[in-house]
Amino acid sequence: MKQLTKAEEEIMQILWDLREGNVAGIINEMPEPKPAYNTVSTIVRILESKGFVDHRKEGKGYIYFPVLEKETYSNQSMNQLMNNYFNGSFKSMVSFFMKKNEMSTKELEDILKEIDKKDS
C-alpha cells in the first residue's frame, strides 16, 4: 500500500470523519489558515489516483469518499512502522513506547487485557 504524505493524511482523516464531502466541505473542516481550494482539489485527486478516494458526480461538482477504511490504513501503517523501526518485533515497539511515553502500569495492564481478549 502506498504511504500518505502529511497533507494527504490530513485530508483522509477529514474524509474518514465526514464519510464524504466536496472540496469546499473538506476545506471547511481544516484549521486556519485554510489552504487554497486548488491545493485541496489537487491533493484529493492524488488520493484518488493512489486508490484511497473515489468520487461521484453531484450537480456541477463531485462528492469524494474514502474507499479504504481508516482501520485498514492504521493497521498497515502500524505494521510498517513495526517492521521498519523495530525489526518486526511488537515487544520492541511496546517497550520503546513505554520508555519514551512513561506509560503507567495501569496502561500496560489494560494493553495486556486486550491482548488476552484477542488470544481467547
Residue 82, all three cell numbers: 513495526
- My answer on whether 18 and 57 are in the same domain is yes
pTM: 0.76
The predicted pLDDT at position 56 comes to: 97
* Domain range enclosing 108: 86-120
- My answer on whether 19 and 55 are in the same domain is yes
The predicted pLDDT at position 5 comes to: 94
Number of domains in the chain: 2
Query: Can you tell me the distance from the alpha carbon of 55 to that of 18, in angstroms, rounded to the nearest whole number?
Result: 14
Residue 54 resides in a domain: yes
Instruction: Find where cell 511496546 sits.
Output: 94
The predicted pLDDT at position 93 comes to: 83
Residue 11: HSE in the Cβ half-sphere, 13 Å Cα cutoff: 29
| Per-10-residue mean pLDDT, the chain, length 120 | 89 97 97 96 97 96 96 88 87 82 81 77
- My answer on whether 58 and 95 are in the same domain is no
Residue 77 resides in a domain: no
- My answer on whether 61 and 31 are in the same domain is yes
CB 50 within 8 A of CB 2: yes
Q: Is the dihedral of CA 35, 41, 42, 43 positive or negative?
A: positive
The predicted pLDDT at position 37 comes to: 97
